[in-house]
Each structure stands twice: as structure tokens, then as C-alpha cells.
């Protein structure tokens, strides 16, 4: 079977003038290689590298950027998280801290927890040495997002409950979750003395 090369529509020059191959493809509905061939046959050069116009800062973005994560900003303002990051940096708002961490502006500059696997949750002098605190550290080292919360679900260093991912659990429930993952509590000086 012999295939014949299709010819460009008679008004191709008017359709394609000042447009990219993709833009013409959307109008005509042909493969991009065919459209590139038609451009060459007509002695035209398609427009290349036209970027979308930069997204301007939406109303209310600055206020929400202080408390929301990039994903939350992107969903709320219908943009990519990369655009949300660029806008947040341009408007000079400091980034939101990870779940389980404390904003240094409110904690006196002390790091309370750190959510990367294989690292300690806090400097030794600030560590929660209770069995539940040990269980929380154990889960954090396995890339779980765990931090203390109060009864309303807000971050609180002295809270009685824990936020573990999306779950809000009590200390015994947190210990049971950690034990299911292989956690074994250890005694500390305060308990041994």
C-alpha cells in the first residue's frame, strides 16, 4: 500500500502565520511532523519557544502562603507547585515548615524536630525521652511525619496526642503503631535513677 503525502490546506499560510507547530496542530488536527513539513513547503518558520505568560500573584496569595504548603497553595490557586514556590519567593514570604517542625520565629530559634530518615528528632537536651517520644522518634527515622498536638489538633510541644500522618492518635496507640514496625523502647537515665 502506497501512502501519499497529504497536502496543506489552501489557507495554511493564514492559519499558521505567527503560530507554533502545536498551535497549528490544535487547529488542523494533523500530526506535528506533517505540519512541520507544510511549514517547510511554504517556506515558513514556526514560532518556537513561546512560553506562557508568567502567572502574577493572585489576590490573597501572600496571606495564605504564610501558613499553607506548596501543594495546598497550588490546589487553591490552580497552579503548579513550582509556580507557587516562585511566587512565594518573589513576595518574600518565608516557606512553611514541615509537619512536625516548629517555626523558628516562634520557638526562639530552637529546632524541635526533623523529619528526615536516619536523623534525630531534636537535640538531646530537648528530646522527649518518654516511651511515646521514643516511638515518635523511631517512626520519624522511617520517614513518618509525627508530632504532638493539643485536643483541637493544633501543633503543641506539650500536647497529649500525636499527629501521625493524617491520623490523630494517643500515646499508647502511637507506641503500638511503632511496635508493629519493630520499635523496642529503651531505658534512659531519668528512668534508671
Q: What is the mean pLDDT of residues 160-185?
A: 89
Q: How many CB atoms lie within 10 A of CB 48?
A: 7
pLDDT score at 56: 81
Residue 121 burial (C-beta neighbours within 10 Å; 0-12, 13-18, 19+): buried
CA 132 to chain centre: 28
pLDDT score at 37: 92
The residue among 4 and 125 whose pLDDT is bigger is: 4
With beta carbons less than 8 A apart as the criterion, state whether 15 and 27 touch.
yes
This prediction has a pTM of 0.35
Query: Of 47-51, 95-99, 117-121, 166-170, which gets the smallest average pLDDT?
Result: 117-121
- Under the banding of pLDDT at 50, 70 and 90, the label for residue 118 is very low
Q: pLDDT tens digit string along 135-161?
A: 988 888 888 888 888 888 888 888 889
Give the start-to-end residue ranges of the domains of the chain.
12-41, 61-90, 97-185
Edge-first strand order for the sheet with 161-164 is 146-149, 161-164, 167-170
Q: Which three cell numbers stand for residue 193?
A: 535513677
CA 26 to chain centre: 32
Residue 16 burial (C-beta neighbours within 10 Å; 0-12, 13-18, 19+): buried
- Under the banding of pLDDT at 50, 70 and 90, the label for residue 52 is low
Residue 69 burial (C-beta neighbours within 10 Å; 0-12, 13-18, 19+): middle
CA 130 to chain centre: 32
- Under the banding of pLDDT at 50, 70 and 90, the label for residue 72 is confident
Rounded Cα–Cα distance for residues 85 and 94 (Å): 10
Amino acid at each position: 500500500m502506497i501512502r501519499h503525502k497529504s497536502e496543506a490546506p489552501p489557507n495554511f499560510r493564514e492559519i499558521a502565520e505567527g503560530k507554533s507547530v502545536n498551535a497549528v496542530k490544535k487547529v488542523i488536527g494533523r500530526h506535528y511532523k506533517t505540519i512541520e513539513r507544510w511549514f517547510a513547503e511554504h517556506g515558513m518558520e514556526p514560532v518556537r519557544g513561546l512560553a506562557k505568560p508568567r502567572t502574577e500573584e493572585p489576590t490573597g496569595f501572600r496571606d495564605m502562603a504564610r501558613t499553607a504548603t506548596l501543594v495546598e497553595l497550588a490546589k487553591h490557586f490552580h497552579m503548579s507547585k513550582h509556580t507557587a514556590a516562585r511566587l512565594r519567593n518573589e513576595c518574600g514570604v518565608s516557606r512553611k515548615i514541615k509537619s512536625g517542625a516548629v517555626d523558628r520565629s516562634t520557638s526562639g530559634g530552637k529546632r524541635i524536630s526533623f523529619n528526615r530518615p536516619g536523623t534525630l528528632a531534636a537535640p538531646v537536651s530537648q528530646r522527649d525521652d518518654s516511651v511515646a517520644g521514643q516511638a515518635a522518634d523511631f517512626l520519624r527515622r522511617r520517614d513518618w511525619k509525627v508530632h504532638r498536638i493539643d485536643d483541637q489538633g493544633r501543633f503543641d510541644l506539650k500536647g497529649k496526642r500525636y499527629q501521625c500522618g493524617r491520623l490523630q492518635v494517643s500515646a499508647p496507640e502511637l507506641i503500638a503503631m511503632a511496635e508493629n514496625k519493630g520499635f523496642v523502647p529503651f531505658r534512659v537515665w531519668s528512668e534508671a535513677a
